[in-house]
Structure 1
Amino acid sequence: MKSQRLLALLGAATLAVSLAACAADDTSGSGDAGAADGEIVFGLDEDSTGPGAAYAVIAGKTIRFAIDEINAAGGIDGQQIRVVVGNDESDPTKTPTVVRKLVDDGAQVILLDTGSGAVLQGKSVVKQAGIPAIAPTAVTTSVAEAPDNEFTYMLANGVDQFAEAYCGAMETKGYESIAVLSDASPAIDNINKLIIPILEDCVEVVAEESAPVDAADLTAQAARIKQADPDAILVSSLGGNFEVLAHNTLHQQIPGVLRFSLASIGNQPDSWARTNKGALADVVYMGALDMDNPKTQELEKKLKEANGDDYRLTAYDAQAYDSVYLLKAAIEAAGGADDPVAVRDALDEITGFEASFGQPGFTLSFSPDKHMGADGLCGLVLSGFDEDNEPSGAWEDYQVACESE
């Protein structure tokens, strides 16, 4: 009996040592507040099953890749990173509970890999906990703005800058009207509240149509848009099945009309094959990848080595990867992760961080008054598709000027 208890204790000890030596991905939370000796705990709010899953899963996979890469190289100042994971399904009503659970499970920094609407509801919880959080794929500018933004950061250019780019493109093309087709998710609702008023300053918005994220038919919405006779159409969506359906329907009912899109469709390779042949040829999406950027080339090489030569790099990958390394840089500058305010202050001092996305030379910087990392408009690349629904690179008709802030 004593020998059995001894074996059980030895087995438990061996398991504990093994877990401490790895970048554990604890999807249910450890239940142990605080980090153990020799480890740093990253919290990950990853929408793996909700409307944001189409991009959050891509980003989440690369977040894990970056953490594994850091751990394999010795960790952060010799400390291994452990991950605790929650899923708010991009549902703003669930986000506060999920973020609190991550904090209870010992998270010292948090990655909010979920919809922008959900991130907005997590800001106050992050502030109350006093824990730095980065939203890798967020494009809603208010994520990084007051109120409650003291501990919340984002990387990408905001949708208000998307709108500026669309307006520049519309002016270049001589277009005077646009229609908007949206999914009815909270994240897109927040995006539209930012983007549509800016569009109204440069063109007439002649129709606004929406449908549930899980809609199976957009024929009626497309018919009303056709009747409004816009010069162009904006598809504002989280991507996934809704965006595939939108482009298939619009291509069939309103062929030849230019469609602008958010970043979603360009960063979801699985969607391209599910879209009818040629349905994306009239789509210009807000991209963020320029393969002339050496940092982008470097990341693509790493991810192809890890995932196979057919892996398609996305902006979500790049933003996720950079988010992890920004946190690493801040934790190193703060002398560890035990003092979250020191980590926050270190983030606020990061300048000129060379990004893995955007045009060559694009950088990210933070300060106490600037929690949106993008330095100027160089993170935006209007991009198109060919007749085979494959990205064709930068759109030749118009690009935003690469101006510094």
Structure 2
Amino acid sequence: MKRPRFTRTLLAAALAPVIATAACASVEDPVDDYIVIGMDEDSTGPGASYATIAGTTVRATIDRLNAEGGINGTPVRLVVENDESSPTNTPSIIRKLKDQGAAAVILSTGSGAALQAKQVSETAEIVTIAPVALTDSVAGPPGNEYAYMVPNPLAQYAEVYCGAFKAGGNGRLAILADASPAISGILATLDPKLQECIEVVDTRKAAVDAADLTAGVSRLLDSKPDAVLVASVGGNFELTAQNTLHRLAPGLQRFSLASIGNQPEAWNLANPGSLDGLVFMGSLSTQNQRTTELEQWLRTIKGPDYSLTAYDAQAYDAVMLIKHAIELAGTHTDPQKLNEAMQQVQDVPASFGQEQLTLSFNPDKHIAPDSVCGLVLVEFGPDNTPVGPWSDYQPECTPEEGEA
């Protein structure tokens, strides 16, 4: 039986020129003749593996808008700058994009850069929206008047993990993490919230390039956990961790961040069966027809075998949320009116998450998902490929507190 596809692929470097560049703006054109959208794309730094996936989909989506007549009958142009994964570069990038006429900026970059953009967006009065950042503070107060984000935030990751632990009868959690700054930042948010619902009996960290985790995993297992969460940026560390855990504790329930789901090229490198039963935090469901339709469309651009990623879906939705705001505002040249309109965008069907998920903003809510069900727990099967949603638990599509 053919398995449903829940894969998220890393974009090959060769794909970069695939998307037509017709949407890129010439800053010499009259600004009233087109709508400029800026993009801060980390295309050469450490975050390029996911930022370029989102970036190519932004380009494709703007091309599609133009083929359909633009926004309010006005063509859309894209101007792009690269922050090279360096948050210190971000403020000047945002100002440069605004100087080029950008009405709004898509932050196809990491959370650190998005946080720096947030500081500039308010003083420069320019809407910024982050399709790939997960840190709640990217779009949370203070100073978030012009800052928005598309994905479910890390606080909701913790909520879903806690629901999974309860459903699985888990009471003792051990965490195995790489020592990268990115994962340290994620755990700083996740760990306190996880401790509210489960006893965290041990946390072990090792270098990202660690070749052998046997000793660390053995000490971790000495704490007698009934579940383990692997927190890593993926790659060799994730494979080594999963191979070692499967070898030393084959029956132990394992959870992971989204990284393993984003890297299908790594699945074949795992030991046979070592990913079986692993549950990772995803954002895509084949039961969402919009997700399926988006994948089918992107395959006409990125290739017939392309597997949709959450980065694609959330980048597409970022463009569409800006489109809705410009339509509501009736203008793209008045930054205050555009920002007010952004906060009036309501109930936009999402291209990621479960079928019922909608996206909205208001003056007090700058994180788009209206429910935690933008997250989907996905399970691996014995052939080291994802087989679909984890049957033990999925978050419900109920409005967040304060929503209608």
Selected match of 1:350 from 345, 352, 356: 345
Selected match of 2:225 from 230, 249, 252: 230
Which residue identity is paired with 1:325? M
The 5 A counterparts of 1:227-266 are 227-266=222-261
Selected match of 2:358 from 349, 363, 373: 363
1:41-78 residue CA offsets vs partner (Å, 9 max, x unmatched) = 22222223333333222222211111111122222233
Selected match of 1:295 from 282, 290, 310: 290
Between 1:362-371 and 1:117-126, the stretch displaced more is 117-126
Percent identity, aligned pairs only, is: 53
**In 2, Cα distance between the equivalents of 1:268 and 1:302?**
21
**In 1, Cα distance between the equivalents of 2:135 and 2:41?**
17
**In 1, Cα distance between the equivalents of 2:314 and 2:30?**
26
Q: Structure 1 residues 225 and 298, CA, compared in 2 at 3 Å: closer, same or farther?
A: same
Q: Structure 1 residues 268 and 337, CA, compared in 2 at 3 Å: closer, same or farther?
A: farther
1:296-327 residue CA offsets vs partner (Å, 9 max, x unmatched) = 12212211222233111122211111111111
Whether the 8 Å contact between 2:128 and 2:147 is mirrored in structure 1 is yes
1:340-384 residue CA offsets vs partner (Å, 9 max, x unmatched) = 221111110011100111111210110011101111222121111
Which residue number corresponds to residue 151 of structure 2?
Answer: 156
The 5 A counterparts of 1:379-390 are 379-390=374-385
The reply on whether 1:116 has 2:111 as its aligned counterpart is: yes
Which residue number corresponds to residue 10 of structure 1?
Answer: none
Q: Structure 1 residues 147 and 311, CA, compared in 2 at 3 Å: closer, same or farther?
A: same
Relative contact order: is structure 1 or structure 2 higher (C-alpha 8 Å, sep ≥ 6)?
2
Whether the 8 Å contact between 1:352 and 1:365 is mirrored in structure 2 is yes
The unaligned stretches of length 5 or more in structure 1 are 1-20
The 5 A counterparts of 1:290-329 are 290-329=285-324
Which residue number corresponds to residue 13 of structure 2?
Answer: none
1:256-285 residue CA offsets vs partner (Å, 9 max, x unmatched) = 322212223223333333433323223211
Which residue number corresponds to residue 48 of structure 1?
Answer: 43
Quote how far apart the aligned CAs of 1:201 are: 1.3
SS state of the match for residue 94, structure 1? Answer: helix
Which residue number corresponds to residue 94 of structure 2?
Answer: 99
The reply on whether 1:403 has 2:398 as its aligned counterpart is: yes
Which residue number corresponds to residue 194 of structure 1?
Answer: 189
Which residue number corresponds to residue 376 of structure 1?
Answer: 371
SS state of the match for residue 145, structure 1? Answer: coil
SS state of the match for residue 368, structure 1? Answer: coil
Whether the 8 Å contact between 2:356 and 2:397 is mirrored in structure 1 is no
**In 2, Cα distance between the equivalents of 1:184 and 1:105?**
39
**In 1, Cα distance between the equivalents of 2:246 and 2:77?**
46
Quote how far apart the aligned CAs of 1:197 are: 0.6
Q: Structure 1 residues 35 and 89, CA, compared in 2 at 3 Å: closer, same or farther?
A: farther
SS state of the match for residue 234, structure 1? Answer: strand
Between 1:197-206 and 1:101-110, the stretch displaced more is 101-110
**In 2, Cα distance between the equivalents of 1:181 and 1:291?**
30
**In 2, Cα distance between the equivalents of 1:58 and 1:171?**
35
Q: Structure 1 residues 213 and 339, CA, compared in 2 at 3 Å: closer, same or farther?
A: farther
SS state of the match for residue 105, structure 2? Answer: strand
**In 1, Cα distance between the equivalents of 2:190 and 2:264?**
25
The reply on whether 1:279 has 2:274 as its aligned counterpart is: yes
Whether the 8 Å contact between 1:41 and 1:84 is mirrored in structure 2 is yes
Which residue number corresponds to residue 3 of structure 1?
Answer: none
Whether the 8 Å contact between 1:55 and 1:268 is mirrored in structure 2 is no
**In 1, Cα distance between the equivalents of 2:84 and 2:247?**
32
Quote how far apart the aligned CAs of 1:245 are: 4.1
Whether the 8 Å contact between 1:91 and 1:186 is mirrored in structure 2 is no
Q: Structure 1 residues 389 and 60, CA, compared in 2 at 3 Å: closer, same or farther?
A: farther
**In 1, Cα distance between the equivalents of 2:46 and 2:320?**
27
Q: Structure 1 residues 288 and 80, CA, compared in 2 at 3 Å: closer, same or farther?
A: same
**In 2, Cα distance between the equivalents of 1:229 and 1:35?**
66
Q: Structure 1 residues 251 and 51, CA, compared in 2 at 3 Å: closer, same or farther?
A: farther
Q: Structure 1 residues 253 and 382, CA, compared in 2 at 3 Å: closer, same or farther?
A: same
- Name the TM-score, length of structure 2 as normaliser: 0.86
The unaligned stretches of length 5 or more in structure 2 are 1-20
**In 2, Cα distance between the equivalents of 1:385 and 1:158?**
23
Whether the 8 Å contact between 1:143 and 1:152 is mirrored in structure 2 is yes
The 5 A counterparts of 1:29-178 are 32=27, 36-178=31-173
**In 1, Cα distance between the equivalents of 2:216 and 2:122?**
41
Quote how far apart the aligned CAs of 1:334 are: 1.7
Quote how far apart the aligned CAs of 1:255 are: 3.3
Whether the 8 Å contact between 2:118 and 2:139 is mirrored in structure 1 is no
Q: Structure 1 residues 208 and 47, CA, compared in 2 at 3 Å: closer, same or farther?
A: farther
Which residue number corresponds to residue 22 of structure 2?
Answer: 22
Between 1:329-338 and 1:270-279, the stretch displaced more is 270-279
Count of residues in correspondence between the two structures:
380
Which residue identity is paired with 1:137? V
Between 1:193-202 and 1:238-247, the stretch displaced more is 238-247
